[in-house]
Chains A and B, each alone.
Chain A
Amino acid sequence: MRPLSGRTLKTDAAMRWAGNWFNDRNRTLFTLLIIGALVFPAVADVTTGGEGNHLINTAADAGVFVLLALGLNVVVGFAGLLDLGYAAFFAIGAYTYGMFASGQLLASPLHHEFHIPFWVMLFVGVGVAACFGVILGAPTLRLRGDYLAIVTLGFGEIVPLVVQYLGAGSPIGNWTSGVNGIGAIDPPKLPYFLTGPWVGAPIGLVKNFDFTGSVAYPMDFYALMLVLVAICVVLATNLYNSRLGRAWMAVREDEVAAAASGVNTVAVKLLAFAIGASFAGFAGCYYGAKLSLVSADNFHFIVSVTILIMVVLGGMGNIPGVIVGALLIYVTQFFVLTNLPDWTQALANAVGLSGLNQSHGDWVGLRNEVQRLNYLIFGLILVIVMVLRPQGLFPSRIREQELEKGTEEQAVFDLREDET
């Protein structure tokens, strides 16, 4: 018997490893996402002939929604608490950064500008948002399901209004510049020795990567976004596999049994709320720094709903699924739908139906008509996806089974009966 050569063994092992790796859909998704994220700037640059900055910028914006979807997934997907006011925590994070990293507070009763570095404010933003998560959660988490959803909805409405109200002329001074929003927010900066030798050097993939100047380039934000998303993915995955993740699932499945098994259900739900909120605070800081402007208009109900759609459509409870969901919805909303009128116009011209593009009588022209129907189309896409895949595009295994076999409605069961 001749022993197998070492080489064959090694290739075999490698093949088996690769086979196992790609057997798991989540790992495949993660691998593809990582590769995609790394080559995206280069691809964007090449395909647009060196003018990829706009695309990279858009991708850096999309990262905000990935962070938000990851955070809402903790609340909705892991712990099963429906939160319809998630944008409020996003606003709190963004305003925290905006107030303490711009000239805003000069106009406030403090009469002093703060320019705290972005890297510090990331942690502050997380902390402040988490505190608000606890403040909202503590009195409301006794409520269940629909009732909790309505309270969070209210909170989501209150926060932008309060922010608008605390502008010039409010009785306690101008803290937020009201409807004008806070502008000229500091971009993130790194000291020279950390930024590295490639500062400002036009070297290939990381062209214009420069955190030292007062101007931040799209590529800076893209790189920063990747780091933040990576951190959040790791933290969320760890949580999911931890003692706390199990407790969340238990509470989601059966709160009474969880309590009888020694899980402090109120504390566990509160933690879900606080951690979800802190992800939003994280995203908010980045958002403020990226846009250099925060305004209450950016945090309305529609934002909360959009994030919820991302989570549900991507696959509740499954981290890579949620990321894909966030990216797809973002691309659909801000790329496909915004370009659709132009595309249909071009298509009509190309196939010789340019007559459709002229407006006459009641007909406003194909382009404008499509423009008008934008949200109808968006709605249709959502309806079709949810009908075809009610469990989301890439659901967690659990969710998949739940929807396959169907779950019977469970009666609301109160831990303590109300009795006075």
Chain B
Amino acid sequence: MAPTGKAPSHPPDAVVLQLDHVTKRFGGLTAVNDVSLQIRQGEIFALIGPNGAGKTTLFNTVTGMYKPTSGTIVFQGKDITGLKPYRVAGLGIGRTFQQIRLFSYMSAIDNVKVGEHHRMRAKLWDSLLKTPRARREEREVQAQSMELLKFVGIEAQAYNYARNLPYGHQRRLEIARALATNPRLLLLDEPAAGANPQEKRELMALVERVREQGITILLIEHDMKVVMGISDRILVLDYGEKIAEGKPQEVRTNRRVIEAYLGKSA
């Protein structure tokens, strides 16, 4: 059932992702300010903070959509600062989006197959002539993609257009597509946004199961209850700066965190 098939190549305590003094500025606006963090193999690491705190910007910086203004990003011992998004994905960082970005007019299974694209070896020649090699690979990808759809629990929807799937299933499909890239680290940008409490619980159970496959998870989530329940460690961002980091209990009682959250609503 393992979507990755591989055992983690790193010892359990190894650092998967390391950010060193990462800053991202847009003109005069500093969206992420001097953030450093270390994510260890196999943990669920949550990134929280009020709206506009720079969480998604940090995601985009890690996945290569933005180039950091300064600082370095190291993934599994390799400097990935400023690499293009497809290279980052190829190295083993999968992601989902806050606003669902599926390929609306492709079937669910084709969406997953796109995730397998960079691992496929068929050359242009194989594609043009439909060589035995291409056919074989196509069959393998079909089987793997179906497995992944089963893993996230939407195999019945395999041949429906992504846009026609119910909301919760679209979220799951995004996760399946990200898993198809065979990631070591999965970045989930508010996977439970807009879901009802029941769906939220189910999605978090899915996140747990993904972690059991040996995939490290970096999670953005608004719902404090959800975050506290699932995360091993939490980092709190406010106005682009790290204001707290630690285990859920530590963060919950942190004065600056309470200020940032309550101060906003009061």
Question: Are the CB atoms of B103 and A250 closer together than 8 Å?
Answer: yes
Question: Are the CB atoms of B101 and A257 closer together than 8 Å?
Answer: yes
Q: Which residue in B63, B66, B115, B128 is a CB contact (below 8 Å) of A239?
A: B128
Question: Are the CB atoms of B118 and A262 closer together than 8 Å?
Answer: yes
Chain A residue at minimum C-beta to C-beta distance from B97? A257
B13-27 contacts to A, CB under 8 A, are 26-27
Q: How many angstroms between the C-alpha atoms of A402 and B163 in the bound complex?
A: 10
With a cutoff of 8 Å between Cβ atoms, the chain A residues found around residue B86 in the complex are 259-260, 262-265
What is the interface of chain B, defined by CB distance below 8 A to chain A? 26-27, 63, 65-67, 84-86, 89-90, 94-95, 97, 101-106, 110, 113-115, 117-120, 122, 124, 126-130, 134, 137-138, 141, 161, 177-178, 180-181
With a cutoff of 8 Å between Cβ atoms, the chain B residues found around residue A241 in the complex are 130
Q: How many angstroms between the C-alpha atoms of A416 and B26 in the bound complex?
A: 11
Question: Are the CB atoms of A246 and B110 closer together than 8 Å?
Answer: yes
Question: Are the CB atoms of A243 and B117 closer together than 8 Å?
Answer: yes
Question: Are the CB atoms of B122 and A416 closer together than 8 Å?
Answer: no
Question: Are the CB atoms of A258 and B114 closer together than 8 Å?
Answer: yes
Whole-angstrom distance between the Cβ of B166 and the nearest chain A Cβ? 16
15 A-B contacts (beta carbon < 8 Å): A242-B130, A243-B138, A244-B127, A250-B103, A253-B106, A254-B101, A254-B103, A260-B101, A261-B117, A261-B177, A261-B180, A263-B118, A271-B124, A416-B65, A419-B26
Question: Contacts A262-B90, A416-B65, A417-B26; is A250 near B114 (CB within 8 Å)?
Answer: yes
Q: How many A-B pairs with Cβ below 8 Å?
A: 117
- A46 contacts the other chain (Cβ, under 8 Å)? no
With a cutoff of 8 Å between Cβ atoms, the chain A residues found around residue B65 in the complex are 256, 259-260, 415-416
With a cutoff of 8 Å between Cβ atoms, the chain A residues found around residue B115 in the complex are 261-262
Interface residues on A, range: 20 to 34
Question: Are the CB atoms of A246 and B67 closer together than 8 Å?
Answer: no
Q: Which of A239, A260, A264, A416 has the most CB of B within 10 A?
A: A260
Question: Are the CB atoms of B102 and A254 closer together than 8 Å?
Answer: yes
- 4 new A-B pairs (CB below 8 Å) besides A238-B127, A244-B127, A246-B110? A235-B129, A259-B84, A398-B105, A416-B67
Q: How many angstroms between the C-alpha atoms of A259 and B114 in the bound complex?
A: 10
Q: How many angstroms between the C-alpha atoms of A235 and B67 in the bound complex?
A: 39
- A401 contacts the other chain (Cβ, under 8 Å)? yes
Per-position binary interface string of chain A over residues 406-419, scored 1 when its CB falls under 8 Å from any chain B CB and 0 otherwise: 00000000011101
With a cutoff of 8 Å between Cβ atoms, the chain B residues found around residue A249 in the complex are 103, 105-106, 110
Q: Which residue in B66, B102, B129 is a CB contact (below 8 Å) of A416?
A: B66
Question: Contacts A262-B117, A417-B26; is A242 near B110 (CB within 8 Å)?
Answer: no
State the main secondary structure of chain A at its contact with B.
helix
Chain B residue at minimum C-beta to C-beta distance from A317? B105
A221-256 contacts to B, CB under 8 A, are 235, 238-239, 241-247, 249-250, 253-254, 256
A371-420 contacts to B, CB under 8 A, are 398, 401-402, 415-417, 419
With a cutoff of 8 Å between Cβ atoms, the chain B residues found around residue A243 in the complex are 113, 117, 120, 122, 127, 134, 137-138, 141
Whole-angstrom distance between the Cβ of A417 and the nearest chain B Cβ? 7
Q: Which residue in B105, B117, B129, B180 is a CB contact (below 8 Å) of A238?
A: B129
Q: How many angstroms between the C-alpha atoms of A264 and B63 in the bound complex?
A: 14
With a cutoff of 8 Å between Cβ atoms, the chain A residues found around residue B118 in the complex are 261-264
**A-B pairs with lowest CB-CB distance, top 4:** A262-B118, A242-B127, A262-B89, A253-B103
Question: Are the CB atoms of B89 and A260 closer together than 8 Å?
Answer: yes
Q: How many angstroms between the C-alpha atoms of A246 and B129 in the bound complex?
A: 16
Question: Contacts A238-B128, A242-B127, A265-B86; is A260 near B114 (CB within 8 Å)?
Answer: no
Chain A residue at minimum C-beta to C-beta distance from B129? A238
Q: How many angstroms between the C-alpha atoms of A301 and B166 in the bound complex?
A: 45
Whole-angstrom distance between the Cβ of A122 and the nearest chain B Cβ? 15
Chain B residue at minimum C-beta to C-beta distance from A242? B127
